[in-house]
Amino acid sequence: MKKYIAAVKKANIWILLIAAFLLAVLLELCVFQFSYFSQNFGAYTRTELELSGMEGYNGEALSLLPENPTVSFDGLSERVRSVTVHTSGPVRVLSGNIGICDEANAYRTMGAGSFQVNPGGQESSFTVRLNSRGDLTRLRINFTDPLDEPVFLLSVVLNERIPLRIHGLRLLLMAGLLFAVFSVLRFRLYEAEYCPEKKSHAVLNLAVLVFCVLVSGWILYGGSASHEYLRPYPSLEEVRSPKMVVDAYMQQLDAFEKGQTALDLDVNPALEELDNPYDKGERDKKEVAYHWDRAYYNGQYYSYFGPAPLFMVYYPVYWLTGKLPTELLAGTLLTVFSIAAVFGAVHGLYRIFRPRANLVLFLLGEAAVVFGSFLYLMQASVSFYYLPLISGTGWLAAFTAFSCSACLSEKKGRRMLLFALAGISVVMLVLSRPGMVLLAAAFAAPLFLRILFDRTTTPTEKLGCALPFLVPVLLGGIGVMYYNQIRFDSVFEFGTAFQLTESDIRYNEITLSLHHFLSMVYHYFVESFVYTEFFPFLRFTAEKCVDFGNYLYQEYSAGLFQMPLNLGLFLAGLTLGRKEKKDSVKRWICGLLLAAILGLGYLDFLMGGIHIRYVCDLSLAVSLLAFFLILGHIHFEGTRSSRILYVITLGFLLITVGRGWLTIFSNETNAVRLANPDFYLSAARMFRL
């Protein structure tokens, strides 16, 4: 009987899979390819515009120069529904617009459409749908992005026949989403509770993990057009390049290989002659050359970025290959580690909180935590600035996973090993982002103190828990303090106070100010994305606020509540209000973690400023806490209101995944767009009807 039921279920799965694929094909043809079939209606004549008589024609193509990136075609008399332009030129994404005059608007050239194109790549052609009112009399093509070199128009065709272009990735994603929806409905998974002991639930959980890792691999593939992920050991000229884009970890590895902690950078003696070398205004006014965003102390340059990525990625790759990883490869390896650690943290917290978790909410929420904590944004930014953040996110998650497992383990040897790994995680967290240790401490305090004050645990057992954790923490702490001392003559100075950036960081101090605290809450939690009509539909705001009483560093940012998953924090009151003794650990973890999140946010705000990187310090802790608050309070139950709330929550989780995916293409550096324009435009075509 069991074999028969299993066979029926397997047949059902194949039927659902086929149905999902067929419906996805139908949607692809009837929705996204609608323009291909609709072009058969109406009398429109294909007309290729003559370029040879235009100024700037070189015998093969019409060139648009940087000083005049516009061309107009006059004297036309055609009914037009589209214009197709074939280009060549630089390898980069260029934006522009199409203007027209027609019988309804004969004297003013009005905007009628926009486009993006990569003249030097595969996406070198674009089609803009028009709808002339009567005959078209004038067509204007204008590039709105500044041009560094000429763009060549190979042909301009009115009413070109649009080819059928099936987007494979879009089709695959639609089929996968439809299959997931069909499966949830067919097997009534929305009614099931998550049970990690069930093999089927473990398989589903593994599928979500694989999906998240595949997204990271997709970013690795699309983040480089050449797909070269290793680079030769740098020359001294490359190490000393004054450009801001030089990888600080490459410079630090070079320094260690030369047996020194200071970076091997040329030092301008004029820096010492300045009244305040940390004042950017004075450096600029007196035109003193320096290396941007490095710590300058006692006449030498140092890197103040946490060295954990150096030990985790750079040295292993260097020892294995003799080459160094690109920032893209380094970020990807760290991201894969972080994804695995996040899943470990989720399952560790599940064992601590023991919520009556809905299966669908749990699986979708796992993905939402990864996307909502800005992990993919950090990876896709392809910058050494984000490497310590990814590393810190991973080690915070690893510490959470090891700590939960250690506190629940009943085997002595395994428990000691897990506590030792938790201690190592703390050290690596300090070597990544020291401030994030506050989050780790807030989470671990209730768990560790429960063991300490547990009357059923003998002193020997308590010592067996404490020593494996404290030994690596103390040894690592001594090593970190020694490293700080030999560089900056202080065991507590990591070098941030001596960085040559926008302002003198030494004057930043911790003050008690309700105005500053509320500003932090707004910028770190509430501040909105800037939403746009076209791909990638959102971007980070660069809103400037000058109401702080002094200078505050402000750049690209957005609040954590822009990821709807994080709105689950508002359920904290329901957990904190519980009086049952069995919920005491949950209450303490929730309360202390909320306090630590706000405390670290306020510290980052005062000592750093407003930037998405500082928001990322908090993102994982906020997403994990919000996720488990949702699991504990949102269920698919018999009442109509609970079911409506359940569906709304699922929608919020899906939006979180979608927005997290879009930040791959819209972030501080826009690295994917710059490094691989064809990949960017191919992703943009997924949303084009």
- Say which DSSP state 192 is in: P
Inter-residue contact 660 to 207 (CB < 8 Å): no
Report the C-alpha gap between 304 and 272 in whole angstroms. 20
User: Could you give the dihedral angle defined by the CA atoms of residues 593, 596, 598 and 601, in that order, rounded to the nearest 10 degrees?
Assistant: -130
How far apart are alpha carbons 601 and 502 in whole angstroms?
20
Q: 47 in helix, strand or coil?
A: strand
Label residues 62-75 b or e (16+ Cβ within 10 Å = b). bbbeeeebebebee
Q: Count the neighbouring beta carbons within 10 Å of the beta carbon of residue 351.
A: 12
The residues facing 346 across adjacent strands are: none
Q: 591-633: per-residue pLDDT in tens?
A: 999 999 999 999 999 999 999 999 999 999 999 999 999 999 9
SS (H, E, C) 524-555: HHHCCCEECCCCCCEECECCCCCCCCCCCEEC
Percentage helix, strand, coil for the chain under 3-state DSSP, each rounded to 5: 55, 10, 30
The domain limits of the chain are 1-32, 47-158, 230-321, 324-685
The one-letter amino acid at 8: V
How far apart are the C-alpha atoms of 604 and 510, rounded to whole Å? 10
Closest listed residue to residue 362, CA positions, set 194, 527, 510, 230: 194
pLDDT at 310: 97
Residue type, 563: M
Which stretches of the chain drop beneath a pLDDT of 70?
1-11, 243-245, 581-582
Per-residue confidence (pLDDT) for residue 353, from 0 to 100: 87
- For residue 507, the SS3 value is helix
**What is the reported pLDDT for 449?**
85
Separation CA 255–CA 486 (nearest Å): 14
Alpha-carbon gap, residue 445 to 218, rounded angstroms: 38
**What does the alpha-carbon distance between residue 407 and residue 394 come to, in Å, rounded to a whole number?**
20
What pLDDT was estimated at residue 2? 52
The neighbour count for residue 477, using CB atoms within 10 Å, is 15
pLDDT in tens, 74-112: 999 989 999 999 999 999 999 999 999 999 999 999 999
Residue range 47-158 forms a domain whose CATH class is: mainly beta
The CA radius of gyration of the chain, in Å to the nearest whole number, is: 29
Helices 584-607 and 437-452: crossing angle in degrees, nearest 10, is: 150
The contacts of residue 165 (CB under 8 Å, 6+ apart) are 33, 685
Strand residues in 423-549 grouped as ranges (E): 530-531, 538-539
Pairing, β 94-102 against β 151-158:
unpaired
The β-bridge partners of 63 are 152
- Report the DSSP beta bridge partners of residue 47: 158
